[in-house]
């Protein structure tokens, strides 16, 4: 477990300290020269399309998806923490993942839905960078949580006799706290560079919400080095976590070959759900940050995918492929209906 998080933390801290001094020195001189110029107070988001008819259709579609996403993830959270049978490390981590997904879907989606009804989609400077901060905070938290869930499955399948000893309550809480701390570190390493850039001219962001690569491009100074830091931080962290997860699940798949057919079937079913979520989440992130500024239309689609589509797929994938979760949800619903009838 220490190896998982030390690799991520070590890479992020080295990247930050190596780049901080040079970036601050090079950007400070240019920023001081532009300090007296008028500053941008708001940004204009172009959105997905200029067609009003399509925007009304997207408004209805995204509204339904958002409501289902929030209710679906909330149902998982309530089911996990209200059902004694689900009081296990795997479901504890799943409940926390659902909370992150619900928050990830909410940091920009409500405003984006409302913007679909507006001709001019405006966001304040503070609101723009708040979106950026939350995007990278929650994205970083989800990455580490997915690594934690892979570690949990590795211990459960490869070291079953020591599972409850290794994955005790303190370790589970530590994994969740660590994921939030690393997410905060991941976001905090990038925001200071971008927010201190001088924005005194263009303010049109060709996307549905604010993200670092597109916003930093609007600065009045050369942001090549800042963009390199963004790619190195977000892109390499996403790629390294993805590789760690692939290695973990490969080791698990090799291990279950020695299990009974019944055990193999159950393990494969669980792993399929985990691997599907990993690919759906990391795929768009790696594409956007490893190959930035390549194709804005593709980047827009991927941005919609990992902020709107992925959070709704997680509860669907984990519940439809999990008998325990489905049974627990049915029992919880019956208990709720019976309590309503009694009153």
- Residues 300, 208: contact at Cβ < 8 Å? yes
H-helix or E-strand spanning residue 45: strand 42-45
CB 285 within 8 A of CB 237: no
Tell me: the pLDDT tens digits for 296-331? 566 677 778 778 888 888 777 777 667 788 888 888
Mean pLDDT value of segment 270-281: 76
pLDDT of residue 294: 55
User: 278-317 in b/e burial notation, b at 16+ Cβ within 10 A?
Assistant: bebbbbbbbbbbeebeeeeeebbebbbbbbbbbbbbbbeb
Q: What is the pLDDT of residues 117-159, one digit of tens each?
A: 888 889 999 999 999 999 889 989 998 998 998 899 889 888 8
- 8-state DSSP, 234: I
Residue 44: φ, ψ to 5°: -110, 125
Question: Which H or E element spans position 44?
Answer: strand 42-45
CA quadruple 44, 50, 51, 55: dihedral, nearest 10: -40
Q: Is the pLDDT of residue 32 over 70?
A: no
Return the percentage of the chain with pLDDT > 70, whole number: 82
How many CB atoms sit inside 10 A of residue 336's CB? 11
Beta carbons within 8 Å of 21's beta carbon, 6+ residues apart: none
């Amino acid at each position: 477990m220490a190896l998982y998080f030390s690799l991520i933390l070590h890479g992020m801290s080295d990247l930050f300290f190596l780049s901080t001094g040079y970036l601050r020195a090079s950007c400070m001189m240019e920023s001081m020269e532009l300090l007296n110029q008028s500053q941008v107070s708001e940004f204009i988001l172009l959105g997905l399309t200029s067609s009003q008819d399509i925007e009304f259709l997207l408004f209805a579609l995204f509204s339904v998806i958002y409501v289902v996403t929030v209710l679906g993830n909330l149902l998982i959270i309530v089911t996990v923490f209200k059902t004694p049978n689900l009081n296990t490390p795997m479901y504890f981590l799943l409940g926390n993942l659902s909370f992150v997904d619900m928050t990830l879907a909410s940091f920009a989606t409500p405003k984006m839905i409302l913007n679909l009804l507006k001709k001019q989609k405006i966001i304040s400077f503070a609101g723009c960078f708040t979106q950026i901060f939350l995007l990278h905070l929650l994205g970083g938290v989800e990455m580490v949580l997915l690594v934690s869930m892979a570690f949990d499955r590795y211990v459960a399948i490869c070291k079953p006799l020591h599972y409850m000893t290794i994955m005790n309550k303190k370790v589970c809480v530590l994994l969740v706290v660590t994921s939030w701390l690393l997410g905060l570190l991941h976001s905090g390493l990038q925001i200071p560079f971008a927010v201190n850039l001088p924005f005194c001219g263009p303010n049109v962001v060709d996307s549905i919400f604010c993200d670092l690569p597109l916003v930093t491009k609007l600065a009045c100074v050369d942001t090549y080095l800042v963009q390199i830091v963004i790619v190195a931080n977000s892109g390499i962290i996403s790629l390294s976590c993805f590789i760690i997860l692939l290695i973990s699940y490969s080791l698990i798949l090799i291990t279950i070959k020695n299990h009974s057919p019944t055990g193999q079937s159950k393990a494969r079913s669980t792993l399929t759900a985990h691997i599907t979520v990993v690919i759906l989440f990391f795929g768009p992130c790696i594409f956007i940050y490893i190959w930035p500024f390549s194709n804005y239309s593709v980047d827009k689609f991927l941005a919609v995918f990992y902020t709107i589509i992925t959070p709704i797929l997680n509860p669907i994938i984990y519940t439809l492929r999990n008998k325990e979760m489905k049974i627990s949800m049915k029992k919880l619903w019956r208990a709720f209906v019976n309590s309503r009838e009694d009153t």
